[in-house]
Structure 1
């Protein structure tokens, strides 16, 4: 067959594209094979869980790389399920140690780090779950430039997370067209909406190849607004009989949480509030306290020169330092420092010791954003689906403070406050607002809802993803 020059050129272009496509597929197959986790120590054999882990470079100049652990959905049709990125807070706490291995991943570390158990209420029942150790310096994530660790702030973290997702989608292109959601808890109350905002903005200016199919985000017991969060801490402590009337009255009289510079009487009063919390677990006020040598986040408030502006800012911000329960976080530290575990999950980069929370990040983090409310307003107008859930036994980021800042958004109520049910009992309460925001409480849960109330947490996550109403009757 005699082809014209134009047809020859057309066929050459087609062949070239096919070759490039095959090379790209070969690269991805190779990447998937190298990322696949096999022979994870102590992994339960049933059910079979397909998972991958490794590093993604987010900055070539500083060789800055973030570590991820990805689990394919366990549903009958994982190829149709959405992709959800999970972020833990801190700043400085690991999404591997908390989210993946203690809360909502398919495996939980048990028995002092010597055994994994299958979590039947894992969120991988509903979605493909991607856990990211962020920011750099957390867990296995690393940088070759120490200056990166001195420059950490919310914008820095959001940019790295965005670059991670773009690179991850290039590595796993079969997930690029999926509905994409962001999820997290605690300081992820900053991470999640800020990353969502950056994706939303970049989708409007970036080439189509970098488009991310963002549909919304869901955050639990989130740090959101300094004024309302701290007002909530004080009111919750008094209303739940943690502090006496005279201390409450003193703090109310001397504290104006609208301002970042607290008066000396306010600092003394709030310091006393947190000292009262040292007697119990601030992250779950009705749970037994773990009596080990590990200190809870609340104990940090018992020391330091609170007259120093830098220390005072640290005093205001540090909350989730060791997470909810140092007993199980210690189990995770034992497990993820095992040589055989590191080898299995491809954590090949030398880390002196993997920690559930990197305390140095908490101390040096540059807190530049005091309120996320403008970001919420912007993203609500953009039409994103946003859920906020709150365990009502959390004293550190209590439901009262969350209700204060949700009300401050000034949204019209779409569906009035009502109870929702699970297993014939009240699971919590729910209010829906015009524009796509939903507030859900979880009865009896603390700071880490998926750990304290795993069945209820899975039920609300399923409702969030699928648009099915939480039951209004037993």
Structure 2
């Protein structure tokens, strides 16, 4: 991990190849104007390679968000079954910045399928969120996942503002392609650095809707998990988590508090850098995103014993899921079924783009002013946190929420799943906080059933179950 980085979010990833730009240019040249609703049918997925039978429809394809620059974002819509319709529409965003929502949200967290270790076949996720909502996964910004740009400089000039504007343009154009979703209840959700993407896009949608009596985008609120929220509180809370969970020494914790609390994200001092390197060494070979589970490179023959080591961990959990998605989404027949890489030019699809992430531009220090604005507007806002994540930990989230100085409506209480504590919750005036016990950075990966319970209650704005 790059602990001295602003984001503390991503392990090192392979750079996104520049061949993607060539593919994008060829695709743009070959594109034929198609009426929006007709394009919807062209985007319909017949059947993905290795896919089991399903009772819901899927669509995938590209939506142009900036014609002059040649930026187009890739989406994958997984509808709820007919028996659950009409259901809300939820946009899911992963963070990084520079990581694919197809790679993470769709393929190892809340999507309908998981990928077998052979990298060729899929199996059903019994706790998929499309059981109760129509879920729209978006690779954002351009240059991430299957999304592309014809302007090479876009890859090294991405930032929060352009990401939000492009995502908004995507939504406007997507709703024209799928008019049946206009006025449907719409929510935005995400995790990690999407703790920036989600509130910023929510603010843009909300402000664009002001003065419109029946907006096409019927925006109702947002949901974020283990979310980057406020630089100062994120760092203070992260260092405290490391120390209280026995990951670092007393002396390193003191040095971090002294030298890394102020402006570390912009100009970390030499002493701060050294303390971060010491902290990294003291933690050892753990998975910082899920501190009590084995990292992928340590599993090997221990894979079969994982449940014995961690009896609370689902049998479905596999720390090597990224490897399987890299295999699956690089199969030409998979790309064809998804209507991705439509020119057929080979390039390496990857879970994250270091080119985009390592050249990130504007990033406000705090999302709290946006929270204050949208809370005042009466939107539904829920924040959740897996409590075994040391990258954007629960302590950081609690410090950020505390800084909002909201009135407590219902004090801290345990919520239950089949008679066992699933986590804790506190309801504030305008915001609900939910923790998920034993879950890491990707809550729906580590605690899929509990994550679905959380999602159901969010959609209904109903307090988590007390019994």
**Partner of 1:225 in structure 2?**
230
Q: Distance in 1 between matches of 2:439 and 2:394?
A: 11
Alignment of 1:56-455 (within 5 A): 56-74=63-81, 76-78=83-85, 80-204=86-210, 211-257=216-262, 260-291=266-297, 327-347=320-340, 348-349=342-343, 350=345, 352-434=347-429, 436-455=430-449
**Partner of 1:462 in structure 2?**
456
CA contact (8 A) 1:84 1:130 kept: yes
Q: Distance in 2 between matches of 1:351 and 1:382?
A: 47
Structure 1 residue matching 2:271: 3-state secondary structure: helix
**Partner of 2:303 in structure 1?**
none
TM-score if structure 1 supplies the norm length? 0.84
Shift in Å at residue 150 of structure 1?
2.5
Q: Distance in 2 between matches of 1:289 and 1:41?
A: 29
Structure 1 residue matching 2:115: 3-state secondary structure: strand
- Unaligned runs of 5+ residues in structure 1 are 1-25, 294-323
TM-score if structure 2 supplies the norm length? 0.85
CA contact (8 A) 2:37 2:178 kept: no
Deviates more, 1:120-129 or 1:275-284: 275-284
CA contact (8 A) 2:92 2:137 kept: yes
Q: Deviations over 1:33-74 (max 9, x none)?
A: 2111012101111x3231000000011112210000001112
Q: Distance in 1 between matches of 2:407 and 2:351?
A: 40
Q: Distance in 1 between matches of 2:346 and 2:436?
A: 37
Which structure features the higher share of helix residues?
1
> 2:48 aligned with 1:40, yes or no?
yes
* Bigger Rg over Cα: 1
CA contact (8 A) 1:140 1:351 kept: no
- Unaligned runs of 5+ residues in structure 2 are 1-33, 300-316
How many residues end up aligned between the 2 structures? 414
Q: Distance in 2 between matches of 1:341 and 1:177?
A: 32
Q: Distance in 2 between matches of 1:229 and 1:458?
A: 26
CA contact (8 A) 1:419 1:426 kept: yes
Q: Deviations over 1:80-116 (max 9, x none)?
A: 2100000000111100011011110101111231210
Q: Deviations over 1:367-401 (max 9, x none)?
A: 43111111111111111100000000000000001
Shift in Å at residue 176 of structure 1?
0.8
CA contact (8 A) 2:80 2:131 kept: yes
CA contact (8 A) 1:154 1:367 kept: yes
Shift in Å at residue 326 of structure 1?
6.6
**Partner of 2:8 in structure 1?**
none
> 2:61 aligned with 1:54, yes or no?
yes
**Partner of 2:9 in structure 1?**
none
Structure 2 residue matching 1:76: 3-state secondary structure: helix
**Partner of 2:6 in structure 1?**
none
Q: Distance in 2 between matches of 1:40 and 1:263?
A: 50
CA contact (8 A) 2:105 2:137 kept: yes
Q: Aligned pair in 2 of structure 1 residues 32, 256: CA closer, same or farther (>3 Å)?
A: closer
CA contact (8 A) 1:35 1:53 kept: yes
Q: Distance in 2 between matches of 1:359 and 1:277?
A: 24
Q: Aligned pair in 2 of structure 1 residues 329, 266: CA closer, same or farther (>3 Å)?
A: same
Q: Distance in 2 between matches of 1:237 and 1:268?
A: 16
Structure 1 residue matching 2:427: 3-state secondary structure: strand
